[in-house]
Chains A and B, each alone.
Chain A
């Protein structure tokens, strides 16, 4: 292979490669589902998917980020149950995590 080194264009090629990979992720799920027939099974699977994505994203992050993060996320969920405001939930969660981290947790 005589591919020339990326040289001074390396950063731009890297950004372009990241952009392409990300766009393919964005469209491929939609493209895939457009060829899969919507049977009752598939429909029920899709119905369970959003909540599953949320839980599968958040739980391991709590595990990785630590107990203080878990407390902050619970506070955000509690605020959401009481007031149904994403902004308030965010403020609550970030206030709790900043406070706990300032205290050394």
Chain B
């Protein structure tokens, strides 16, 4: 990676260290139990839909987006037409469109690193990774190794944990009963606590929540995440002008 380059890309480029990667693995380890349960649930759903184990592993390894993979299982079919593939692609893009905003939110940090390194680690960029990166960056951390370590560790665990789910599918036939559908929402909700910067900073969040609720009422699917998040960011961007 960056170690082979003769010159650092920017004069004050922050580091990518082994210690950072280890820290990333440690940060992500507390999320692993939830991720494992989620991956097992996906493996079980895939088996129930008639996906083979190689197909299931390929999806976990290449798509690597838990919610979009579970949603894809709703649309999965034994026979494919180009139209069905196009439909699945559009649904996947809308479910994962939040990643566009998550990437934008941390871009000022990533901008210090070479494009190729960013193109590489962004393949492993996901909700848990974004939460860890956001919290680490808020604390003043700038070592991209944290994000890379967390992303790689999570990817390996996610792909491997899909296997027992696929093999033992029937055991978790009703993921709702164990609250598996709530794993990511719980992580997201818990993140509000370290993100809290006082009531004034939370005004854009209220706008985001309100717009998201209204959008969810009016539009099917997951567009509410984008509409709400953008409304919150716009509120944050222009609110201080009045004061």
Chain A interface residues toward B at CB < 8 A: 3, 5-6, 10-30, 32-34, 38, 41-42, 44-65, 69, 72-74, 76-77, 79-81, 84-87, 89-90, 93-94, 97-98, 101-102
Contacts and interface: CB of A to CB of B under 8 A. Distances in A.
Given A11-B80, A86-B31, A51 B107 contact: no
A34 to B, nearest CB: 6
Tell me whether chain A's interface is mostly helix, strand or loop, or mixed: helix
Contacts of A77: 189-190, 192-193
Contact of A25 (B100, B194, B204, B238): B100
A86 B190 contact: yes
B213 A51 contact: no
A46 B190 CA distance: 20
B188 A57 contact: yes
Contact of B63 (A6, A22, A84, A98): A22
Contacts of B237: 41-42, 44-45, 48
A55 B209 CA distance: 5
A90 B183 CA distance: 7
Interface string B203-243: 01111110111011000000011011111111111111000
B93 A48 contact: no
Nearest to B99: A25
Interface centre among A32, A44, A62 (most CB of B within 10 A): A44
Contact of B107 (A16, A34, A102): A34
B188 to A, nearest CB: 5
A21 B88 CA distance: 10
Contact of A13 (B68, B69, B80, B181): B80
The 8 closest A-B pairs by CB, nearest first: A48-B236, A52-B232, A10-B80, A56-B228, A29-B103, A45-B237, A60-B216, A52-B208
A92 B159 CA distance: 26
Nearest to A5: B81
A24 B69 CA distance: 16
Contacts of B123: 23, 26
